[in-house]
Amino acid sequence: MALQPIMRYALKEFKIDFIGPRLYAMAFSAFIVVASLLSIAVQGFNFGIDFAGGVLVEVRSEQQIDLSQMRDRINGLNLGDVSVNTFGTAGDSVSIRVPLQEGGDQQQTIALKAVQESLGSGFTVLRTEVVGPKVGAELMVGGALAIALALIGIMVYVWLRFEWQFALGAVLSLTHDVITTLGIFSIFQLQFDLNTVAAVLTIAGLSVNDTVVVYDRVRETMRKYRKMQLADLLNLSINKVLARTLVTNLTAGLAVLALLIGGGEVLRGFSLALTWGMVIGSYSTIYVALPMLVYLDLRREDTIGGGSAQVPEYERNPTPAE
């Protein structure tokens, strides 16, 4: 019952001028893209064990944790710059990250045993990961290749599905979303691992899905309202599908929120990336993909075959109410 007023509002027809302030929005987009690229070039990423290699141990204590004492004990093992941090809401769980050891996979296993022995009794091991230098390098190459191939596949599909103006706008929108998502992980030095790669691929799918839905409505509207100005037509198109976008994002957002709250430390980066991706994906569809149609001089002849399409008379000259 409580959701009924929200749904009534979400399903109503909007009349918002999205295209009018496009210059400000595109300036903001340019800023966050440049900031993301600068951060990636200067800071790089905080690679997780998957890519950087090393040892990861997550444990839960049966009693109060003295974090400084634990750090001193593990640092005494002379394993390099070891990271020891609590996670979770209860504060009884600890993540121990040991950097890559020289000597190959065997040395990583020795480091894991040394950490486990130093903890002693009173701890329950939740998770252990040991990744050697060769595996870490292979995973990094595989992750980058997966992202690149997915983006190329999506771009080819959109290029074949729509006219070149639409395709170029969708490509720029998708590139915008991926770069800014990677930039968030670089700027705030969030852990970048295989889960993050999965999140980036998911974001690419969500972004292009939004864009394709809006583009379909734009093409349909262009064939219907032949005398309407392009900016007004784009506003009409996005307002027609805005309710659908809001409801879809609200539904997906509830699932992501559940992951963020109950997914634990392992899925934290994945959940944060998806949250950002849903927001930036909807934004880029409205303020990157659509405005590009204005600047690329999209014409009705591009979508209706040079005016040869047969459109009923009542659709050619709609009343102002339409």
What pLDDT, in 10s, does the model give residues 145-165? 888 888 888 878 888 887 788
pLDDT attached to residue 41? 94
Is the per-residue pLDDT at 141 higher than 60? yes
- Identify the CA nearest to 237 among candidates 302, 170, 317, 228: 228
Query: Model confidence over 168-181: pLDDT tens digits?
Result: 888 889 899 999 99
pLDDT attached to residue 35? 96
Query: In the β-sheet with 93-98, what is the strand arrangement from edge to edge?
Result: 83-87, 93-98, 54-61, 123-131
Residue with tokens 């405005």: 291
In angstroms, rounded to a whole number, what is the distance separating the alpha carbons of residues 121 and 62? Answer: 9
- Beta strands per DSSP E along the chain: 46-47, 54-61, 83-87, 93-98, 123-131, 191-192
pLDDT attached to residue 304? 55
- Residues paired with residue 95 on neighbouring β-strands, in sequence order: 58, 85
* DSSP helix/strand/coil, 163: coil
pLDDT attached to residue 38? 96
Residue with tokens 């990423």: 45
Band (126; pLDDT cuts 50, 70, 90): confident
pLDDT attached to residue 4? 54
Mean pLDDT of 288-311: 65
Single-letter code of the amino acid located at 268: R
**Domains of the chain, with CATH numbers?**
16-45+136-303 (1.20.1640.10), 54-131 (3.30.70.3400)
Answer for the pair 127, 57: CB distance below 8 angstroms, yes or no: yes
Band (183; pLDDT cuts 50, 70, 90): very high
- Is 76 or 304 the better-scoring residue by pLDDT? 76
How is residue 36 written in tokens? 């993301």
pLDDT attached to residue 186? 92
Helices (H), the chain: 4-10, 22-42, 49-52, 67-75, 105-119, 133-161, 164-187, 194-224, 230-262, 268-284, 290-295, 300-304, 313-316
Mean pLDDT of 250-273: 80
Which of 51-60, 107-116, 134-143, 287-296 bottoms out in mean pLDDT, i.e. has the lowest? 134-143
Is the per-residue pLDDT at 307 higher than 60? no
Mean pLDDT of 207-228: 85
How is residue 166 written in tokens? 């639409």
Mean pLDDT of the chain: 80
Is the per-residue pLDDT at 251 higher than 60? yes
- The DSSP secondary-structure symbol of 190 reads -
Query: Model confidence over 73-115: pLDDT tens digits?
Result: 888 888 888 888 877 666 678 888 888 887 777 888 888 888 8
pLDDT attached to residue 112? 86
Most confident of 30-44, 83-97, 124-138: 30-44
pLDDT attached to residue 48? 80
Dihedral sign for Cα 224, 230, 234, 236, please: negative
Share of the chain above pLDDT 70, in %: 84
* DSSP helix/strand/coil, 96: strand
In angstroms, rounded to a whole number, what is the distance separating the alpha carbons of residues 68 and 162? Answer: 59
Tell me the HSE value of 40 on the side-chain side, using a 13 A CA sphere: 15
In angstroms, rounded to a whole number, what is the distance separating the alpha carbons of residues 218 and 224? Answer: 10
In angstroms, rounded to a whole number, what is the distance separating the alpha carbons of residues 184 and 273? Answer: 8
Band (322; pLDDT cuts 50, 70, 90): very low
pLDDT attached to residue 29? 94
pLDDT attached to residue 64? 75
Question: What's phi and psi for 226, nearest 5 deg?
Answer: -80, -20
- Identify the CA nearest to 277 among candidates 215, 202, 168: 202
Share of the chain above pLDDT 90, in %: 11
